[in-house]
Structure 1
Amino acid sequence: MEHTFSEEIMKACDIRGIYPQELDERDAYHIGRAFGTIMAREGRTTCALGYDGRESSPQLADKLSRGLCDSGIKVFLLGVLPSPAVYIAVQVLAVDAGVVVTASHNPAEYNGVKFLLSDRLFHGDSIQELGKISKEGSYSIPMSLGEVVDMDFTDTYIDYLIGFLDITQEKKLKIVWDPGNGAVAAVIHQLTQQIPGEHVLICSELDSRFPNHHPDPSLPENLSLLRKTVLETRADFGVAFDGDGDRIGVVSASGRILQGDQLLVLFAREHLSQFPGDTIMSEVKASTFFYEEIVRAGGKPLMWKVGHTNQKEKMVKEGISLAGETSGHIFFAENFGFDDGLFAAIKLINRYVKSGMSLEEEVAQFPHLYDSGEIRLELPREQRAYLVADIIENLHANNRDVVTLDGVRVSCADGFWMLRGSNTQPHVTIRCEGRSKEGFDICMEDLQRHIAHANIDMDAVTVYREKPSSGG
């Protein structure tokens, strides 16, 4: 019973593709069958399974669970939940693995699958092994079939999050919450009812069409409704989440958008006040402000690869307690190292209920930098790889100081520029930053020269480009 998956859907951190052209119910069954085979070979017998609010998710989850059962795996079906809730379920329920049917922040026509094992991550070579097992049809033959057990995990997940809430003073915050009609909408009403203060909810109903805006809080255009509501309601701040709830976006009282690396600086300041000298990790897209600020706060900054699985794996290997990405993934060791937008929101509430300074006052002290935001160039896979390789070769030929641990990052004038292929979408991600307008322009011109050298017409393929703005 061999089955071959489209190469386009086998990503570095998960499986993801357009439904049903690239990923359909037949694929889902064989994903479950192959993952269940890997589990069975390791003596694993139980798996938690959840899914997001996309229209195709229930039927994909059904077929995937059948594949798991046909490999002898007992499935605890949790229904619609944010991905981090499934991660927590693996720990709380003491099951052997977890699977989430989700395409995270991808557009509505996509869907996919994320995996984890109880004692390690599942990505990279493991996903390729899953594809190999399916292609060969080398599935395990169980002594008996597994079963599906329906389980409501929502209350347990909410109780888990509230257990980290630390409001000991009378000060109450006014917060705007924007789940973006994604999976967080399944739990946001119940969660906010248990948090003191005033809460304004927008885009808070599950809707697979994402009618209000795309569920990717790393793009400013997707935070415009949140900014508008924060300003209109005079809230202390607003928080937004991506399609499966593992990322957070934050808007201050004045409507200022915080990038993930800026938010990480806030958490790092508090962490380093308790644990001076600790390592705080981010990634190749992070601002120079992040790396310099961690040193000023008494910590050791570490640059690593983009990708939630890459970051989590490095945290375990290096014993790191706090890490984060510009996209809004924030990893706390006290949360099993998982990235959970709602957990990050709880930590943010704790910080500003107890702080003598508002979020607005603290971010107002951030340095004024010129930042392109993310520029995304939509290119075929082969062209993405060629572009990065050509730029690295050209930079080395000119004896430039280059970081190549994930794509390419190069210092230029009073800033930097970087370029890397996305792990989850068909584009190259670019970021350019300078301390001055002149320095920013020099960096951007340097970047454009190197892209032109590879015969790529940048303007012709740009799918999103943010104008330079202040911020770290």
Structure 2
Amino acid sequence: MTTYKTTPYEGQKPGTSGLRKKVRVFQQPGYAENFIQAVFDVVEPAPGAVLVIGGDGRYHNRTVIQQAIRMAAANGYGQVLVGQGGILSTPAASNVIRQYKASGGLILSASHNPGGPDEDFGIKYNIANGGPAPESVTDAIYARTQTIDRYLALDTPDIDLDTLGTVEVGACRVTVLDPVADYADLMERLFDFATIRAAVAGGLTMAFDAMHAVTGPYATEILEKRLGFAPGTVRNGVPLEDFGGHHPDPNMVHAKELFDLMFSEAAPDFGAASDGDGDRNLIVGKHRFVTPSDSLAMLAANAHLAPGYAKGLAGIARSMPTSAAADRVAASLGIPAFETPTGWKFFGNLLDAGMATICGEESAGTGSDHVREKDGLWAVLLWLNILAVRKISVDALARKHWAKFGRNYYARHDYEALPTEQADALMAALKASLGALPGRKVGPLRVETADSFSYLDPVDGSTSANQGLRVLFEGGSRIVFRLSGTGTQGATLRVYLERYEPVGGDLDRETPEMLADLIAAADELAGITRHTGRTAPDVVT
């Protein structure tokens, strides 16, 4: 074991999904090592503890994985489980942590952010329940990065990450495991594969865009090999270090080819995509895009059709910016609905306590208590299970759902890579104005209430303040403003727009038309153009 002297780097504060920076930042001497050592110093692994390591295959993954293995061995871990080729999707990593009773895991990913030598990289620590470390842990990790003066590593050569088996690194056993098999087996236990296979044999077709990211091998094994979809159903299925030069974010901008296909005459019955690390999903039927918020509600309303959820749901949880569509489903089922801050870690306590079964975020993340991460392929498979059992199209299912519950017209406008000082000034001015907003008329809308969202965890009693600014209007419409923590440069302002249309109302209009008043109100209230100079968002989802 060698003790390497080091000095702190500024800014190693984990966001909602770990530490994300440009690759060249992580390539600085000791940068990744400082952060990993800070994790080990904070969690203090018991002698012989098990650590899981894997990532989404992006550029720089293999280099950091090799060093993380040497450091884990030097810090007293007894076993490291690493995905073959360094690959583990985020939900699969969560499953491995839980299945093999590991003490935690390092997930090397920047999720939906682009990859390559000049692009993004990230490291996230997940705890023993398989979920992202809570704020108490990430705050302690950040504090340690500010004082760190050494890291520990063994002076050993790289291991062969491409060959299954176990090797010794010092006193630590390092097992290279199949990254797909355990996850695929779990999916087969949760869903009615026989009924889906019968639907495929009867003519059900789909297109899945893996975006040259981590879900390619998982989707190929499950969709094509186990469920019988035709070869080629999985598109862009080979993980590449730069995701083929594309942005692996499953939305109508970055998955445009899939959208164009699904709105053409050649559309298959079902279209789906997942992101860089496999935790997000896109759902689109023939001529019908399903927003992530609606997808959560529709999945929850029909989950009992899958064997793994036949006994019903304990509760439904959603992030605050996610639309209230799922709340209406929870009310109809007589189960609780929870509203949490953005970040999957806030769902962990609810899932562990058995208070919620299905959770979702508007940023295309949906999952359940089978792991402690959002899970893109899980959502796709639950959709397939529902469509196969109900023998219904995506469009028909959506229409029936809205006819029963009403429709929450919803969109998110992202203003990306803003100068941080501009974004901070906008949010500060808006926050200062909240107290004077109730009763104010903005176009045809009248503000009912406005606040800065704060969350009291019903399990551990912890409070998370300043989680987004909310402006709620009479009649159920609302606008939410947040600064995202998933970017690597500048700041991303996210504006969430929601209008509820009750049963019997206009349930099949174009979303931009239904949200026009809210879009204008957002600029008037927050001064987006005035503060940023931007007259339109970079991405609309």
TM-score, structure 1 normalization = 0.87
Cα deviation for residue 458 of structure 1 reads 5.0
Q: In the aligned structure 2, how far is the partner of 1:12 from the partner of 1:383?
A: 21
Count of aligned positions: 463
Shift of 1:14: 0.8
Aligned twin of 2:381:
346
Structure 2: gaps spanning 5 or more residues: 155-168, 439-447, 454-466, 507-511
Q: Aligned partners of 1:288 and 1:86: how far apart in 2?
A: 30
1:32–1:66: 8 Å Cα contact kept in structure 2? Answer: no
Aligned equivalent of 2:192: 166
| Residue of 240, 253, 269 corresponding to 1:236 | 269
CA gap 1:285/1:458 in 2 versus in 1, 3 angstroms: farther
Q: Which of residues 261, 275, 279 is equivalent to 2:293?
A: 261
Aligned twin of 1:75: 80
Distance 1:72 1:278 in 2: 39
Q: Structure 1 pair 295/376, CA: closer, same or farther in 2 (3 Å)?
A: farther
1:112 to 122, 127, 132: 122
- Report the more deviating stretch, 133-142 or 152-161: 133-142
Q: What is the letter of the counterpart of residue 124 of structure 2?
A: K
Displacement of 1:463 after TM fit? Answer: 5.3
The question of whether the paired residues in 1 share the 8 Å contact of 2:8 and 2:148 is answered with: no
1:430 counterpart SS class: strand
Give the Cα separation in 2 of the matches to 1:25 and 1:54.
20
- Relative to structure 1, is the Cα distance of residues 418 and 275 closer, same or farther in structure 2, using a 3 angstrom cutoff? farther
Paired letter, 2:174: V
2:265 equivalent to 1:247: no
Match for 2:320 among 280, 284, 291?
A: 284
Equivalent positions of 1:1-400 (< 5 A) are: 1-7=5-11, 10-21=14-25, 24=28, 26-40=30-44, 45-73=49-77, 74-78=79-83, 79-108=86-115, 109-119=119-129, 121-137=132-148, 147=172, 149-153=174-178, 154-169=180-195, 170-172=198-200, 173-192=204-223, 193-198=225-230, 200-211=233-244, 213-217=246-250, 219-230=251-262, 231=264, 233-254=266-287, 256-271=288-303, 278-296=314-332, 298-316=334-352, 319-333=355-369, 335-365=370-400, 366=402, 371-399=410-438
Distance in 1 of aligned mates of 2:236 and 2:48: 39
C-alpha contact 1:49 1:75 (8 A) present in aligned 2:
yes
Shift of residue 189 of structure 1? 1.9
Confirm or deny: 8 A CA contact 2:426 2:527 kept in the other structure: no
CA contact (8 A) 2:45 2:103 kept: no
Pick which of 68-77 and 284-293 moved more: 284-293
- Give the secondary structure class of the aligned counterpart of 1:221: coil
For residues 12 and 469 of structure 2, the distance between their equivalents in structure 1, rounded to whole angstroms, comes to 23
Distance 1:210 1:177 in 2: 15
Aligned in 2, Cα 1:268/1:282: closer, same or farther, shift over 3 Å?
same
Query: What is residue 464 of structure 1 aligned with on the other side?
Result: 538
- Verify the 8 A CA contact 1:53 1:208 in the aligned structure 2: yes
Q: Which amino acid aligns with 2:199?
A: K
Structure 2 CA distance, aligned partners of 1:438 and 1:59?
49
For 1:58 and 1:141, locate their aligned partners in 2 and report how far apart those are by CA, in whole Å.
19
Shift of 1:17: 0.7
Identity of aligned residues (%): 17
Deviations 1:233-270 (A, max 9, x none): 5422111001000111111122x221211111111112
Q: AA paired with 1:149?
A: V
CA distance in 2, matches of 1:44, 1:401: 53
Change (3 A) 1:277 1:267: closer
Judge conservation of contact 1:375–1:430 (CA < 8 Å) in 2.
Answer: yes
Tell me what 2:157 maps to: none
Cα distance between partner residues in 1 of 2:136 and 2:296? 29
Q: Letter of the aligned partner of 1:12 in structure 2? A: T
Question: Matches of 2:150 and 2:25 in 1, distance apart?
Answer: 25
Letter in 1 for 2:128: S
Range with bigger deviation, 89-98 or 411-420:
411-420
Cα gap change, 1:439 to 1:149, in 2 (>3 Å)? closer
Instruction: Give the TM-score normalised by the residue count of structure 2.
Output: 0.77
Distance 1:239 1:161 in 2: 17
Question: 2-side partners of 1:186 and 1:428: how far apart?
Answer: 34
1:417 aligned to which of 460, 474, 479: 479
Q: Is the 8 A contact 1:372 1:465 kept in 2?
A: no
Secondary structure at the aligned position of 1:85 is classed as helix
- State whether residues 121 and 313 of structure 1, in contact with CA within 8 Å, keep that contact through their aligned partners in structure 2: no
| Amino acid in structure 1 at the alignment position of 2:181 | D
Aligned-partner Cα distance in 1 for 2:528–2:495: 16
CA contact (8 A) 1:286 1:326 kept: yes
Unaligned runs of at least 5 residues, structure 1: 468-472
Please tell me whether the aligned partners of residues 12 and 145 of structure 2 are also in contact (alpha carbons under 8 angstroms). Answer: no
How many Å apart are 1:102 and its aligned residue? 0.8
User: What is the CA-CA distance between 1:347 and the residue it aligns to?
Assistant: 1.7
